[in-house]
Copies of this chain bind each other. A is one copy, B any other.
């Protein structure tokens, strides 16, 4: 049996483009002599379709797409992921299903049993778990077909009591196929390989695993589809962060011939390399799938906006990036120069719009209300918000999308101005701690100085008042980031973090800052997720609460 794995980039709800892409791939696989083409979980509609799945019309369009695909499969078989109706009298309305299509029609339907409902996943919201398990016979092989989480259950993972493969194995399959939608986090590829390899070994079966690739707003799918032999060894690993179609001949359960293997690199990438590639894909797909071409951002001369500008130039082309310098009376000369150096290094467009006259006009208009009161955070925020108004006006006039440049450390402790520097269509660095932003900057500069060294080495400052430094109001970033990682990502208790050797007052203050900033984070742009725990859909907090605050 000749198997093609199709690791493709889908667009949520765009049935025309997804169906075209699937049919084009089937045609291509036919010319290569494939018997079976395997596509990813819920590929007809894209993942995650979220509450679109609650619309009958959406489900009908999925079924119509499947019928179009089936009509193509007269002399070739395929497996596609699709939401289907639950016809039982009770339970959720739909299943998360796989269709096995051959001879021009759907021959078998497999439903997902283990429904992830943690972090960014909401599958119990939509789907009824399957309780029936049947293998599929095709070309002399017996296929144990499962969907994503159905195999995410070994390695002493205690989340699920029942395991679909424990049922399927009784029917003596000779190959496993798993179709998935497994989003990227910088530490996720190794965990994925370990769990899947463990499955292959445990059930003594070869395993073909197909993942999504491409970004769906916050969620970035990194591809990296996999083929294992029955001893759990990697036979092939598909590329990360790009589409790929590969071909294999499954001779028997111990022998897989690579007809056209992937071109993935041999060595694993470092966390920062992965984050870099993930963010590029995240930016590119956000613009492409939204139907926009050009980005705008405010360039302060600091490291965060410099890194976002460099990433945007690489993702969209420098000619599609507009950098705007928005100096106030507190901006230093070196900041302007650092920003201009970056623009020169990248070759992107730029404009300079000084905001002093604007902030003056606000202060004058508010003079009757503010007179006699000292300069404070109100005036500081007027600067940040004036910049946002200028940038958004340019978006509205010229059709740019504004890139947000806040990093995860700032987003965590609420160090940013709502409706000011917290604006944007998408947050590029909102899941990247400040200490990681430095690593990214150095990585971007690996061949030549793109980000001015001065932006990297100078002490970080918001420049909203004279001689302001981040360290005036926050702990040093290496300490801050470690505490944040323990609290936000590892959900450690204050006690446990203090026990690790951090100053008690600092730990309590940082946790308090995180907890009282929920109202700010609620209104910020979607954040490209690169860590196992990002702010956004995977971290859902009460806004008005009083916990460690």
Decide: A12 and B542 in contact? CB cutoff 8 A.
Answer: yes
Determine which residue in A92, A159, A370, A385 has the highest number of CB atoms from chain B within 10 A of its CB, and name it: A385
For A56, the chain B residues whose CB sits under 8 A away are: 491, 493
Q: Per-residue 0/1 for A62-92: is the Cβ within 8 Å of any B Cβ (1 yes, 0 no)? A: 0000000000000000000000000001111
Decide: B357 and A370 in contact? CB cutoff 8 A.
Answer: no
Query: What residue in chain B is nearest A419 (Cβ atoms)?
Result: B419
Name the contact of A54 in the complex, choosing from B160, B491, B544 (C-beta under 8 A): B491
User: How far does the Cβ of A153 sit from chain B's closest Cβ, in whole Å?
Assistant: 9
Indicate if A254 sits at the interface (CB-CB under 8 A): no
For A329, the chain B residues whose CB sits under 8 A away are: none
Decide: A57 and B494 in contact? CB cutoff 8 A.
Answer: yes
For A379, the chain B residues whose CB sits under 8 A away are: 393
Query: What residue in chain B is nearest A158 (Cβ atoms)?
Result: B90
Copies in the complex: 2
Decide: A51 and B541 in contact? CB cutoff 8 A.
Answer: yes
Name the contact of A523 in the complex, choosing from B46, B357, B525, B540 (C-beta under 8 A): B525
Decide: A370 and B397 in contact? CB cutoff 8 A.
Answer: yes
Name the contact of A393 in the complex, choosing from B50, B51, B90, B378 (C-beta under 8 A): B378
For A48, the chain B residues whose CB sits under 8 A away are: 542
Indicate if A270 sits at the interface (CB-CB under 8 A): no
Decide: B545 and A12 in contact? CB cutoff 8 A.
Answer: yes
Q: Per-residue 0/1 for A376-399: is the Cβ within 8 Å of any B Cβ (1 yes, 0 no)? A: 111101100110111011101100
Decide: B390 and A366 in contact? CB cutoff 8 A.
Answer: yes
Indicate if A255 sits at the interface (CB-CB under 8 A): no
Indicate if A457 sits at the interface (CB-CB under 8 A): no
Given the complex of chains A and B, what is the CA–CA distance between A524 and B366 in angstroms?
26
Decide: A90 and B161 in contact? CB cutoff 8 A.
Answer: yes
Given the complex of chains A and B, what is the CA–CA distance between A303 and B444 in angstroms?
53
Name the contact of A394 in the complex, choosing from B366, B386, B418, B537 (C-beta under 8 A): B366
Decide: B364 and A392 in contact? CB cutoff 8 A.
Answer: no
For A361, the chain B residues whose CB sits under 8 A away are: 357-358, 360-361
User: How far does the Cβ of A367 sit from chain B's closest Cβ, in whole Å?
Assistant: 10
Q: Per-residue 0/1 for A254-290: is the Cβ within 8 Å of any B Cβ (1 yes, 0 no)? A: 0000000000000000000000000000000110011
Segment among A199-207, A226-234, A243-251, A347-355 that sits at the interface with chain B: A347-355
Determine which residue in A289, A360, A540 has the highest number of CB atoms from chain B within 10 A of its CB, and name it: A540
User: How far does the Cβ of A232 sit from chain B's closest Cβ, in whole Å?
Assistant: 23
Segment among A19-27, A100-108, A116-124, A186-194 that sits at the interface with chain B: A116-124
Q: Per-residue 0/1 for A41-59: is the Cβ within 8 Å of any B Cβ (1 yes, 0 no)? A: 0000010111110111110
Interface range, A side: 35 or more
For A376, the chain B residues whose CB sits under 8 A away are: 396-397
Decide: B159 and A90 in contact? CB cutoff 8 A.
Answer: yes
For A393, the chain B residues whose CB sits under 8 A away are: 362, 366, 370, 378-379, 381-382
Decide: A362 and B390 in contact? CB cutoff 8 A.
Answer: yes
Name the contact of A526 in the complex, choosing from B388, B419, B543 (C-beta under 8 A): B543
Known: A158-B89, A351-B369. A385 touches B378 (CB 8 A): no
For A389, the chain B residues whose CB sits under 8 A away are: 362, 382, 385-386, 389, 419
For A419, the chain B residues whose CB sits under 8 A away are: 385, 388-389, 392, 419, 423
15 extra interface residue pairs, beta carbon distance < 8 Å, beyond A217-B544, A351-B368: A14-B546, A52-B545, A54-B491, A90-B158, A125-B540, A216-B544, A289-B544, A289-B545, A290-B519, A358-B365, A361-B361, A366-B390, A366-B394, A373-B397, A381-B396
User: Would you list the 6 A-B pairs with minimal beta carbon distance, nearest first?
Assistant: A13-B547, A57-B493, A378-B396, A361-B361, A12-B545, A14-B546
Name 19 interchain pairs, CB-CB below 8 A, sorted by A.
A12-B542, A12-B547, A13-B545, A14-B546, A46-B542, A49-B542, A51-B540, A55-B493, A57-B493, A351-B369, A354-B365, A355-B365, A358-B365, A362-B389, A370-B393, A377-B396, A378-B396, A381-B396, A385-B389
